[in-house]
Amino acid sequence: MLVGIPLEQSKSTIKPKECAVEMSDYLVEVAQTRSKIAFSKIFNYFAPRLRSYALKQMGNEALAMELVQDTMSNVWQKAHLFNAEKGSPSTWIFTIARNIRFDMLRKLQNRKEDVCSDDLWPVLCEQTADLNEAPLDEQVTLEQIGYLFESLPVKQKAVIEAIYIDGKSQQEVADELVIPLGTVKSRTRLALQRLKGMLQTND
Amino acid sequence: MIRFHPSAQQLVSFVDGNLSPAVSLMVSAHCDMCSTCQRFVEQETERLAGSLLEGSLSEGFLLEENGSKSADFNPDYSTMIAQITQTPSSLEADSGFKLHATSDKNKFSSSNTVPVVNTIANNSRESAIELDGKVFTLPRTLQRYIEKTGSWSSLVGKLWQAPVDLGSQGVANFIYMGKGGSVPEHTHRGTEYTLVLNGEFSDGLNSYDSGDFIFMDGQNTHTPRSDHSQGCLVFTIVDQPLHFTSGIARLLNPFSHLFFR
């Protein structure tokens, strides 16, 4: 039978907001000093909650504990990837747990699809920053680039066109235009700088 | 402009991790292209994480039965903590990783331009697929599958397809319709998901643009066709071969697992 009587009221008095700040600080501490005490605080808060989630999802104590252990191991080993600006500790930790569960279930169900959680939700990739690029519909369109490209000085345009559109090497371009390789390089650099400047002012 | 999105239910299931791997892949790739759905997924992730991990342990966190004796359930957490904290951080484990990688914001002002050019060239090689001189940059989620993509083969008319090996379940393909190319009229036996990656096509029922996410489970018979000057590239997953319904196109049925919805 279900006994719905609060047992741990003392633990439930922490407000989510304050808790997020507190846990966030502990995560930073783990990342910077490998503090076992800070990790224990994170663990004591999240492990029972993760276990409850895991039990519902996996329906089995052993698998649930495996999920808890894998999740918390990742928290310990990859705390440096947590970024408080991108989300709360619980969102980060949930994402890790959800990913592990996704891969566990895939194995349990013997599915052979070669689709792993890292591809779908790259939360633990070392290069997360690169992967967090803007969605394509917010990125610069080819038309925009084309328009800006047209405004480059003729000589720079020729070099950029040969390298980026025709796919030639810098040496090939130098030979073709009968100019020193260094000139090709500096024109490329100047053109890219200019394009970059124009893109920034265009935003 | 993107007009066709996954349903809210599909997005929620995606966040829960309950969509099948192949469909998750489609939804994830759509979110790479669609800021609206990307934001929805972020908010839903936050909401779900909050409700699962920020609640107090006394509300709904107790298990059925023995609620009053939950201490009995308590696994040996202290041993687990001890085990975990003995492992090195992934930074230490991977000594080659640089903790403070320089921001690439200033990459264009680097005095040495050669690596910059190489980086751009390398990136575009890994993030794009090519057909007949046309280069298509793929959404992030699909980029890893470039190396699992077979070569392009010509089908009827102006249709090209390149199979993507996802493993056993479902058949995934990149399909390219050249301008004026069309897929013969067909129905579906199973379900099919199509994501428009580049260009436009229409099927008499609707017009679809880059980023559109199209789901079909076999109610309609249609004839996809692209009149876009650049043609149209899509990524598609079917769990059952299509069935061509008219005339000589029935000859295609042996190959029908290759097609659009």
d(CA B104, CA A129): 10
Name the minimum distance, in Å, from the CA of B219 to any CA of chain A.
27
d(CA A104, CA B10): 21
Q: Which residue has the higher pLDDT, B91 or B39?
A: B39
B residues 57-116 near A, CB within 8 Å? 57-59, 61-65, 67-68, 70, 75, 77, 80-81, 83-85, 87-91, 93-94, 97, 99, 108-109, 113-114, 116
The number of angstroms, rounded, from the C-alpha of B19 to the middle of its chain's C-alpha atoms is 12
Does pLDDT of B87 surpass 80? yes
CA angle A123, A125, A128 (to 5 degrees): 75
Radius of gyration of the CA atoms of chain B, in A: 24
- Supply the pLDDT for residue B120: 37
d(CA B16, CA A129): 24
d(CA A110, CA A40): 35
Placement of tokens 């042996």 in the chain: B254
- Supply the pLDDT for residue A15: 65
d(CA B209, CA B195): 9
- Supply the pLDDT for residue B60: 45
B residues 18-47 near A, CB within 8 Å? 20-22, 24-25, 28, 31-35, 38, 42, 45-46
Q: Which residue has the higher pLDDT, B170 or A67?
A: A67
Count of C-beta atoms within a 10 Å radius of residue A10: 10
Averaged confidence pLDDT in chain B: 75
Identify the DSSP state of B222. Answer: B
Rounded mean pLDDT of B76-92?
A: 88
Residues in chain A closer than 8 A to B42 (CB atoms): 87
Rounded mean pLDDT of B239-252?
A: 53
- Nearest by CB to A52, from B33, B61, B169: name it: B61
Residues in chain B closer than 8 A to A54 (CB atoms): none
pLDDT interval class at B66 (50, 70, 90): very low
Complex-level ipTM: 0.75
pLDDT interval class at B213 (50, 70, 90): very high
- Please judge whether B81 and A192 are an interchain contact, meaning their C-beta atoms are less than 8 angstroms apart: no
Residues in chain B closer than 8 A to A50 (CB atoms): 53
E strand segments, A56-106 = none
d(CA A5, CA B60): 10
Does pLDDT of B1 surpass 80? yes
End-to-end CA distance of chain B: 21
d(CA A189, CA B164): 37
pLDDT one-digit tens code per residue, A154-194: 888 888 778 776 767 888 889 988 998 888 888 888 887 78
A residues 107-146 near B, CB within 8 Å? 111-115, 117, 119-122, 126, 131, 133-138
Name the minimum distance, in Å, from the CA of B167 to any CA of chain A.
4
Does pLDDT of B105 surpass 50? no
Give the orientation angle of helix A142-150 with respect to helix A181-202, to 10 degrees: 120
- Nearest by CB to B169, from A11, A112, A196: name it: A112
The first and second tokens of residue B153, run together, are: 């083969």
Q: Is there a contact between A125 and A118 (Cβ–Cβ < 8 Å)?
A: yes
Total residues belonging to chain A: 203
Residues in chain A closer than 8 A to B167 (CB atoms): 111-115
- Supply the pLDDT for residue A62: 92
- Supply the pLDDT for residue A19: 83
- Supply the pLDDT for residue A171: 86
